[in-house]
Structure 1
């Protein structure tokens, strides 16, 4: 689907003001970059444009309580979730405080023994070990009973969260969450680590610390933003831009070790974090304990970090094996039940599936059956699950409609977690299907590839690409531009590693014949009994959707097209 053209007058005006062609100006205007000043802010992110952290509701209370704890030499416990956002948050907050204060430690709940978020075990651990203040990160906004218990045990809470609050808030000393209805903070899409970063910013300002010390943690923050799939717009875009710059120029030992284990030999991009670095950080919390990931991220010695990264890598390899086997089993379950194939949702339950990979399995199922999906397994005598959604459908709201059957739930528009009685699973499956069927539309049930513009092959050159490159970092809210060329054919078609395709694309009347790389399409069927490779070999005409990337081999750089889709006549 090609995006609608932006207002022609606005596009032409911006094109002249910033000296780019109409194609690029159209892309910018569609991203709401429609004036010279907005273009300047977009292409030249500036840390001075970050919002004042004191604008966040309860920030004054949080800073005051943190300061009092340090003045009175109280023990502080940094508490975070076991995913990438949580572990980077903990590494950041613990790393910052431990620079100048010795009475601080961190705690990550065990996914299998304690579950998501603030646990009773964690609260009691704090009280028994004489911690007087817990700073929770990426969790806590719905932990009312746990915060009440902490208060009874003499432990205060500062909650740093970015999830949607419930009707009531926990009785914490301070609750930092830009999604609070009474919070006027200008930017609402921070990651959990981002909210923690604003607390560090505010506290450092109060203490008169140099800003540079705070900015040292932008590498961890960029990883949290990328891995948690929050919008890379506004403040997040500035934070990610400088965080990735730090990763590429001066990474901390733990991140350097992850880059080496991932065998990334180029400048890090968002996609490298999402597909290579993030999963490795996530792996320990999925299969074992996320404490290993925090210890890696706070390591101060490269040799130590490399040893820890090797262990994390081993766990990640095991995670991939679980992921593949459970995905096959889940897809087989759907294929064996015709009534399930006709539904608007997928909700599967099997008591022995590995809890650590069910979110990944849900995403894999959506690749085959494109609809809201929940994968459930049994843990601590409860059914616990991960939910994933499809384009523009709010799965969190749909799950909320089923709250009478649930014991706990939380999340976002596109991803959520939930816990319920095993006995309630059949009733939940039926009600969730009913709720989604009433809300979802046909447009939600088909994968959508949004194309920015149609171009000609001769438009693809380094002048064009160098401006595209400056639009990074890409992600939700600022997707990498996708283009289409019409009525082209393939030449020099080759199969790589038995599953990828490499070919030159040719367009009548155009001299440029760039190389295309089509990952995983070597044996894909477009029409009944027609394999893409054979259709390309016959020089059949097609429309091509692609992203433009630079490939460097033996110090020789060329522009290549990464194929997103092929549509034959």
Structure 2
């Protein structure tokens, strides 16, 4: 039995109960759409076939008309315009898009992205003063600025018209800017979840007076990389943008394709795991300007040089993240008591630019909201990032203790902050208290929303193509997860560190591979022929022109007890691994004292009359079968390890049949006597028996008073009584020993498992059985 690491939420209903408003689609597609609250044909059509015609008028957004008017005035008067961006992938793509749009409109413009390490996040007074001194009277922010209240006031003092375009959470007070373009401050704008680049795209459309399709390859980067919900306008920009970026002739995109070895069409995973991280890496380690230069470049040769540099930075970023994550994990593991409800770790020397990634790793490992801070001892400040679990709104809870921060901003699941070092402990206490008040124990367990249960033979290329109609997947439209119950034909460790699992599931009609990244620790916990329950994403693995069905496994559980067969093995210590949260018990029936892994050994009779055990190690064979069956019937055991050896086998010796006994007795009657010591070997050779069989037959006859034995000479008793062989205790013991060896030692794995199934008092399943609706 293996418990799942996450909570499985089976969300599906009986397909016969679904809405009739979605006629014309398959039951699976209908179910997937209804899960996304799509119940009518028109909405379904818009979702399955995103169209640019469904985008909203940019002038519905408050501040748009005023802002466009001011920009056109600046262009007419030849006033230079500064685009003030952010250093992540959304900010970089927003900055690039805004600069290109302004230049197409005839503006004299440049861009400025603050240095994360020397300036921090967002607008700052020093940058605004520099802009003013450089002759800029108009500044347009992209993907930042909604929390820049003192900075906006300072810009006004300098005579700068500050136009804020942003999408981050709005705080209690808005900046006093020339204008603000933000979906969430625009009551009449139908969609409020645009990314920063989406807002910039709307600005470009309004400024140019046409639909700027040439910017779709930029819009898709920030929309997907910034993890905004992929629904409404975001879904349209992402879907159409993926087509655009796949065909893009932009030198920067071409160079990224080459350095990342991207072939064919791009999808959301290409952006999220390949393009986005590299653009993010620049601002995480240094000034983010090269990322904008890459996307603005008109020279393929120049773009290739920048892309190679950015790729190198990304590799360096990965090493830094790994080192900091290891330190942070050790800090959490080494704290006394249980893990805090909210993790807050801080240390000098950490790179502030990568702490968001580290925080994400802590959330995945410990299922806790996590804040990771880098301490600057000279300033006495700590700066860092936070990531959260679904049930804990990071932005809302941090806003309740807003006074502890020097700077704070972000979303429900991600935020950035700066605070005095002396505030760190107070922040930890406050957030832990808020978590204790608002969250239950279940809230700390990750939840997998399972679409439906699917049989192995129902998984097909057609079905997966049907699921792919819902692409692009992401926030607000997660990739569907499916439940599969099957016994794998093969399980093996893969990867250079052997930390991943690969399964082969096979039936007469189908074969599906399963990949479980990072789950290599389960290898020793999976017994042969164990039926697995898995939840994962269905997909196609294409290699050398062949398409193989596969499931990318997110979680695994085993509901049944498991048998691990180490009979006669000399390598038990190598294969036996006790998970940290489990405890195993070794039991002996024959007073053996040595157990694998130096576990303490209990005599069978000393174990409690009843109990619940993670693992039971049988280190020797019982004296009788009933001795073992009685033990198993009173205990509840999740895993049984057959670790016993057999020094001397009864099973391998020749077992005498009743005809053997009959012939031997007739021989005695004919001869009158038999010298056991001198004649046993001769008889055994002549009959093809074993000497021990001759001796055993003699001892059974002696016990039954059929013969007399004196000085090694056996003779027939004068008046033997009529008795059956089973009346001999020696015969019965040998017969039981033979049966025990046959059942417990020389049986196949399946035969041994079947015997234990009949006698084991199996623990109740901890997972509720779900009603299953197939596809």
Do both proteins adopt the same fold according to a TM-score greater than 0.5, normalized to the shorter chain? yes
Give 1:183's aligned residue. Answer: 187
Maintained 8 Å contact 2:89/2:280: yes
Give 1:68's aligned residue. Answer: 73
Equivalent positions of 1:554-569 (< 5 A) are: 554-569=544-559
Identify the match of residue 98 of structure 1 among 95, 103, 106.
103
TM, length-normalised to structure 1: 0.93
- 1:108 offset after TM fit, Å? 0.3
Equivalent positions of 1:422-441 (< 5 A) are: 422-441=421-440
Distance in 2 (alpha carbons) for counterparts of 1:342 and 1:515: 36
Secondary structure of 1:27 counterpart: helix
Maintained 8 Å contact 2:489/2:504: yes
Maintained 8 Å contact 2:167/2:183: yes
- 1:129 offset after TM fit, Å? 0.5
Give 2:91's aligned residue. Answer: 86
- 1:400 offset after TM fit, Å? 0.8
Distance in 2 (alpha carbons) for counterparts of 1:493 and 1:405: 50
The answer to whether residue 52 in structure 2 is matched with residue 47 in structure 1 is yes
Deviations 1:491-547 (A, max 9, x none): 37463433333332135xx611212222232x223xxxx625x53xx1211112121
- 1:319 offset after TM fit, Å? 0.8
Give 1:442's aligned residue. Answer: 441
Distance in 1 (alpha carbons) for counterparts of 2:392 and 2:230: 19
Equivalent positions of 1:52-451 (< 5 A) are: 52-101=57-106, 103-180=108-185, 183-205=187-209, 209=210, 211=211, 214-339=212-337, 341-379=338-376, 380-451=379-450
Secondary structure of 2:183 counterpart: coil
Maintained 8 Å contact 2:105/2:207: no
Secondary structure of 2:242 counterpart: helix
- 1:471 offset after TM fit, Å? 0.9
- 1:12 offset after TM fit, Å? 5.5
Distance in 1 (alpha carbons) for counterparts of 2:57 and 2:292: 28
Maintained 8 Å contact 1:162/1:177: yes
Runs of 4+ in 1 over 6 A off after TM superposition: none
The answer to whether residue 539 in structure 2 is matched with residue 549 in structure 1 is yes
Distance in 2 (alpha carbons) for counterparts of 1:337 and 1:284: 34
Equivalent positions of 1:495-510 (< 5 A) are: 495-497=494-496, 498-506=498-506
Distance in 1 (alpha carbons) for counterparts of 2:252 and 2:155: 33
Maintained 8 Å contact 1:484/1:544: yes
Structure 1 stretch 161-170 or stretch 4-13: which is displaced more?
4-13
Structure 1 stretch 281-290 or stretch 381-390: which is displaced more?
381-390
Distance in 2 (alpha carbons) for counterparts of 1:14 and 1:378: 57
Identify the match of residue 524 of structure 2 among 510, 525, 531.
531
Deviations 1:31-65 (A, max 9, x none): 11211111111111110100111111111111111
Q: 1:492 to 1:359 in 2, by over 3 A?
A: closer
Deviations 1:414-442 (A, max 9, x none): 00111111122222221221122212222
Maintained 8 Å contact 2:223/2:234: yes
Give 1:13's aligned residue. Answer: 20
Q: What count of residue pairs does the alignment treat as equivalent?
A: 549
Maintained 8 Å contact 1:254/1:296: yes
Distance in 1 (alpha carbons) for counterparts of 2:112 and 2:123: 10
Maintained 8 Å contact 1:491/1:506: no
Deviations 1:185-240 (A, max 9, x none): 110100011111111111122xxx4x2xx111111111111111110001100000
Distance in 1 (alpha carbons) for counterparts of 2:299 and 2:204: 24
Maintained 8 Å contact 1:395/1:415: yes
Give unpaired runs (5+ residues) of structure 2: 1-7, 560-775
CA RMSD of aligned residues (A): 1.8
- 1:405 offset after TM fit, Å? 1.4
Maintained 8 Å contact 1:231/1:478: yes
- 1:14 offset after TM fit, Å? 4.9
Q: 1:389 to 1:179 in 2, by over 3 A?
A: same
- 1:10 offset after TM fit, Å? 6.2
The answer to whether residue 475 in structure 2 is matched with residue 469 in structure 1 is no
- 1:101 offset after TM fit, Å? 2.2
Maintained 8 Å contact 1:401/1:435: no
Distance in 1 (alpha carbons) for counterparts of 2:293 and 2:276: 15
Maintained 8 Å contact 2:75/2:107: no
Secondary structure of 2:371 counterpart: strand
Maintained 8 Å contact 1:10/1:34: no
Distance in 1 (alpha carbons) for counterparts of 2:177 and 2:351: 34
- 1:268 offset after TM fit, Å? 1.6
Distance in 2 (alpha carbons) for counterparts of 1:166 and 1:448: 29
Distance in 1 (alpha carbons) for counterparts of 2:547 and 2:21: 31
Secondary structure of 1:216 counterpart: helix
Secondary structure of 1:284 counterpart: helix
Secondary structure of 2:284 counterpart: helix
Structure 1 stretch 6-15 or stretch 249-258: which is displaced more?
6-15
Deviations 1:255-301 (A, max 9, x none): 22222222233432212212211111011101111001110111122
Distance in 2 (alpha carbons) for counterparts of 1:322 and 1:120: 31
- 1:128 offset after TM fit, Å? 0.5
Secondary structure of 1:172 counterpart: coil
Distance in 2 (alpha carbons) for counterparts of 1:132 and 1:85: 25
Distance in 1 (alpha carbons) for counterparts of 2:362 and 2:113: 29
Give unpaired runs (5+ residues) of structure 1: none
Between structure 1 and structure 2, the one with the greater Rg is 2
- 1:376 offset after TM fit, Å? 0.9
Maintained 8 Å contact 1:488/1:544: no
The answer to whether residue 434 in structure 2 is matched with residue 456 in structure 1 is no
- 1:73 offset after TM fit, Å? 0.9
Q: 1:477 to 1:3 in 2, by over 3 A?
A: farther
Q: 1:69 to 1:7 in 2, by over 3 A?
A: farther
Maintained 8 Å contact 2:534/2:553: yes
Deviations 1:119-164 (A, max 9, x none): 1121011101001100101111111111111111111111001112
Maintained 8 Å contact 2:113/2:288: yes
Secondary structure of 2:408 counterpart: strand
TM, length-normalised to structure 2: 0.69
